Amino acid sequence: MKIAIASGKGGAGKTSVTASLARVWDTPLVAVDTDAEAPNLHLFLHPTLEESRTSLLT
């Protein structure tokens, strides 16, 4: 399943809704913040890096 949260207007709550859904989701997921100017989803979710960049490339 793929879910996209989108709006052309700033301050509409896209990040808040995405973070809330990610926290209550029962299965592992990938949450992507595509805001090129002010990505801040990481501030809500506090992700941890499980692999180094080198291990992902090999």
Per-residue pLDDT tens over the stretch 2-58: 999 999 888 999 999 999 999 999 999 999 999 988 899 999 999 887 766 666 666
Q: What is the pLDDT of residue 49?
A: 73
Q: What is the pLDDT of residue 58?
A: 62
Other residues' Cβ atoms within 10 Å of the Cβ of residue 18: 19
Q: In the chain, how long is the greatest CA-to-CA distance?
A: 39
Q: What is the pLDDT of residue 21?
A: 95
In a domain, 52, yes or no: yes
Alpha carbons 51 and 9: distance in angstroms, whole number:
34
Alpha carbons 4 and 25: distance in angstroms, whole number:
14
Rounded to two decimals, the pTM is 0.73
In a domain, 25, yes or no: yes
In a domain, 3, yes or no: no
In a domain, 34, yes or no: yes
Q: What is the pLDDT of residue 22?
A: 93
In a domain, 1, yes or no: no
In a domain, 2, yes or no: no
Number of separate domains in the chain: 1
Place of tokens 């700033």: 10
In a domain, 37, yes or no: yes
Quote the domain boundaries for residue 47. Answer: 14-57
In a domain, 29, yes or no: yes
Query: Cβ contacts of residue 18 below 8 Å, gap of 6+?
Result: 5, 31, 33, 41
